[in-house]
Amino acid sequence: MKRVLVTGGAGVIGSHLTDALISRGCEVTIVDNLSTGRIENIEHLVGKPGFHFINSSIMETQLMDELIRNCDSVYHLAAAVGVKYIVDDPLQGILTNVKGTEIVLEIAYKYWKRVLFTSSSEVYGRSKKVPFKEDSERVLGSTEVDRWSYSTAKAVDEHVCFAYAKKGLPVSIVRYFNAYGPRIDQRGYGSVVAGFISQALRNADLTVHGDGGQTRCFTYIEDTVAGTLLAGEEPKAVGKVFNIGNDRETSIIELAEMIKEKTGSKSKIVKIPYEKAYGDSYEDTMRRVPDITKARTELGFSPAVPLEKGLEKTIEWAKENYTR
């Protein structure tokens, strides 16, 4: 039985990844401090054979040493995520995302364990050259703008991964593009999809930031998990980074309209200035689109769930789980 450690396993992606690993017959240990992760995401697993949950932080070096020594591979997802979260507490974000990843990699190197590091499409910053390829340039704003600290932290982490890979550590990296699906947090942390669905189900205004012309490529959670497993298991993925996302581009205003229509909501779609949502220290990425040729050709990754279908499944779940 393969023993897998999933850091951040109580998060949205982590918990779905854990479900997939358990259904493949792996023994899975999750370490999560429930900062943005939620016990509700994993309570269906608690008590099942082969599943272990440790409510602690990846900053606990001694604990991490023991956990990594006792596993065969590590999926490192624990991070401070969500733009709003980062803007609200940049220091916490930087410490968790840089120090935490260094701890995981250093110990994985000591015990020579395979690592899959989860990075973000944020690393591309506000580059206008879409679609983003893995070797595209990164374009970031000033360090006075807190938002870019997340991109910078994830990029430092990637550099550390590549540096360990040069020393022989079997490590691979994925860059996620706006994952969504059941379990996305109603508070909307890091997910406009969650925020809009929650608003729509309450018939509250759908708050589009700016003019809503900014675009994202929303990736259904099953596709995100499939790409993660491929990159985590494929021997040829070692030492490489892959974009994992759907490459269909959707504007935020279109997304709002789709969610309003699919929920049958009476909500109004309203435009609010960015400053009102995030304060002054904010700059948005206007288009974010992955080039997924590398993941397609080298991993056989192929996103399968169209936005319409994924939104329907997510809305169905949210109707049962969101408080009104």
- Whichever of 131 and 190 has its CB closer to ligand UDP, that residue is 190
Residue 194: count other Cβ atoms within 10 Å of its Cβ: 22
Rounded to whole angstroms, the Cα distance separating 272 from 23 reads 43
Helices (H) and strands (E) in the chain, counts: 12, 13
Rounded to whole angstroms, the Cα distance separating 86 from 96 reads 11
Q: Among 30, 78, 104, 252, which residue interacts with ligand UDP (rule: CB under 6 A)?
A: 252
* Contact criterion met (CB below 8 Å) for 256 and 269: yes
Q: CB of residue 7 vs ligand UDP: minimum separation in angstroms?
A: 20
Q: CB of residue 191 vs ligand UDP: minimum separation in angstroms?
A: 5
Which residues share a beta bridge with 3? 27
Q: Among 79, 105, 201, 208, which residue interacts with ligand UDP (rule: CB under 6 A)?
A: 208
Q: Taking contact as CB under 6 A, which single stretch among the options 1-9, 54-62, 184-192, 306-314 is the one that binds ligand UDP?
A: 184-192
209 binds ligand UDP (CB under 6 A): yes
Which token pair is 121?
């499409």
Q: What is the 3-state secondary structure (H, E, C) of 133-158?
A: CCCCCCECCCCCCCCHHHHHHHHHHH
Which listed residue (75, 150, 180, 278) is catalytic?
Answer: 150
Q: Among 33, 57, 214, 243, which residue interacts with ligand UDP (rule: CB under 6 A)?
A: 214
Q: Among 73, 191, 198, 314, which residue interacts with ligand UDP (rule: CB under 6 A)?
A: 191
- Whichever of 65 and 291 has its CB closer to ligand UDP, that residue is 291
290 binds ligand UDP (CB under 6 A): no
Rounded to whole angstroms, the Cα distance separating 255 from 284 reads 17
Rounded to whole angstroms, the Cα distance separating 14 from 28 reads 11
Q: Does the annotation count 189 as an active-site position? A: no
83 binds ligand UDP (CB under 6 A): yes
154 binds ligand UDP (CB under 6 A): no
**Any idea what DSSP says for residue 123?**
G
- Whichever of 46 and 272 has its CB closer to ligand UDP, that residue is 272
Task: Report CA 267 to chain centroid distance, whole Å.
Answer: 28
- Whichever of 173 and 197 has its CB closer to ligand UDP, that residue is 197
> CB-based contacts of 114: which residues, under 8 Å, 6+ apart?
72, 73, 74, 108, 170, 171, 232, 238
230 binds ligand UDP (CB under 6 A): no
Q: Which residues are catalytic?
A: 150
Residues that bind ligand UDP (CB under 6 A): 83, 178, 188, 190-192, 195, 207-209, 214, 216, 252, 284
